[in-house]
Amino acid sequence: MNNVSAETDSKQALRKKYIRSIFLWIFTLGVIAAFIYYLFVNSDKYLSLLRLSPVSVILLLLLAFTSPFLNGAINAYMFRSLGANLSQREGFLLAAVSTLANQLPVSGGVVTKGVYLKRKYDISYAKYLSSMFALFFCTIAVYGLLGLTILLEWALFSNLIVPSILWIGFGGMATALLIFWFPLERVPIPSVLLKWIQQALEGWSLISKNPLLILKLLGIQTTMMILLAVRYWLAFHMFSQNVTISQVLLFSSATILTNLVSFAPGGLGVREAIVGGIALSLGFDPGISVVAVGLDRLVSTVMILTVGWASTVILGREFSQGPSKPNEQDA
């Protein structure tokens, strides 16, 4: 009887997963179709603004190409601290593969890394997820503090009126750091959020013992944010939008929230909505802002697919060779 019940539950789970996958495909294709239709209807407007050059496109590609290298360094530093003998090269390959997996309708970057580390280095899923949650909340807080710094500079020295929604948004991000001192036993918290917080606290206990590691990880994350801001600056200027460095830094620091939304491949539509909303609050045309971010996504996706596919082939071959020896040390 128990076997029949277990088989029924398994079939129901598979059915739900199948339905969810179909829904995500429909959602993804719908977003892409809507964006293409919008571009078609407004093609005259955007073509008149477009200032495209081979140099700017090559710069966008090169900047996008830095992402797997920096994510690879994060992988190497983070997972070495958990006991994995991960080289910089392997970290780069794993970053490229997981980024490619995130472009699928069922975002699988986190799962890909977790399975790889478990099977090759015997890193438990609990340890892996908790450390990733801790790093994520730290990064949200740092990005929020940077956003608040920019807003303060505008308000105090540039005499600009900053919309309240930006103060609230970046202030909320900055308070993410308080999660590590959260009195869980005193506050009624939804079970899903409670699980996230508990995992972050477990991860924090692992990485907080190495302050230098935290500084390295946050330094790399901040570098990635700055490079993304430069990409946005290029993309906006391709559409004749005179954005400042501080404005694109604000856009970039907010897009980490894309990682909170896992139902869309690569945060499709979410990143564009975040930047479009902030741009609107700053007086920019939200449509142009969304198209500019879409251009950056188009260029970066070419790199992600190319490098991700090649890395999948290489890492797959190396993975088939079996687990690394614990006493090996990469140069």
Query: What would the 3-class secondary structure string for 238-262 be?
Result: HCCCCCCHHHHHHHHHHHHHHHHCC
User: Does a structural domain hold residue 46?
Assistant: no
- Residue 275: C-alpha distances to residues 75, 81, 118, 254 (Å): 27, 34, 36, 8
Pair (17, 101) in one structural domain? no
Q: Of 223, 237, 221, whose CA–CA distance to 296 is shortest?
A: 237
Do residue 127 and residue 276 come from a single domain? Answer: yes
In a domain, 324, yes or no: no
Q: Verify that 128 and 160 share a domain, yes or no.
A: yes
Q: What is the Cα–Cα distance from 203 to 201, expressed in whole angstroms?
A: 5
Long-range Cβ pairs for the range 64-68 (8 Å, 24+): 64/231, 64/296, 64/299, 64/300, 64/303, 64/304, 65/303, 65/307, 66/224, 66/227, 67/95, 67/99, 67/224, 67/227, 67/300, 67/303, 68/92, 68/95, 68/96, 68/99, 68/307, 68/311
Residues 280 and 312 in one domain: yes
Residues 242 and 181 in one domain: yes
How high is the pLDDT of residue 73?
Answer: 94
Cβ proximity of 143 and 256 under 8 Å: yes
CB-based contact 68:97 (threshold 8 Å): no
Handedness of CA 216, 212, 203, 85 (dihedral sign): positive
Question: Is 295 within the bounds of a domain?
Answer: yes
Tell me: do 205 and 108 sit in the same domain.
yes
117 and 24 both lie in a single domain: no
104 shares a domain with 171 = yes
Q: Which amino acid, residue 90?
A: E
**CA dihedral of residues 197, 141, 215, 225 (deg, nearest 10):** 120
- CA atoms within a 13 Å half-sphere pointing along the CA-CB vector of 13: 6
Cβ 94 vs Cβ 108: under 8 Å? no
Q: Are residues 273 and 159 in the same domain?
A: yes
Structural domain for 238, as ranges: 52-319
- Is 30 in the same domain as 109? no
Residue 252's pLDDT is what? 94
Which residue reads 């944010």 in tokens? 225
What span, in angstroms and rounded, lies between the C-alpha atoms of 96 and 330?
Answer: 20
Residues 6+ apart with CB under 8 A from 244: none
* Residue 47: inside a domain: no
Alpha helices in the chain (DSSP H): 2-41, 43-49, 54-81, 88-101, 109-121, 125-157, 164-174, 191-207, 211-238, 245-254, 270-281, 286-319
Residues 131 and 23 in one domain: no
Instruction: Give the total number of structural domains in the chain.
Output: 2
161 and 299 share one domain: yes
* Tens place of pLDDT per residue across the chain (331 aa): 545 554 555 556 556 656 666 776 676 677 778 778 777 777 788 778 888 888 888 999 999 999 999 999 999 999 998 888 888 999 999 999 998 888 765 557 788 888 899 888 888 888 888 888 888 888 898 899 999 999 999 999 888 888 999 999 999 999 887 776 666 556 566 776 667 677 677 777 777 778 888 889 889 999 999 999 999 999 999 998 999 999 999 999 998 887 665 545 556 777 888 898 999 988 888 888 989 998 898 888 888 999 999 999 998 887 776 555 444 444 3
Other CB atoms closer than 10 Å to residue 244's CB: what's the count?
14
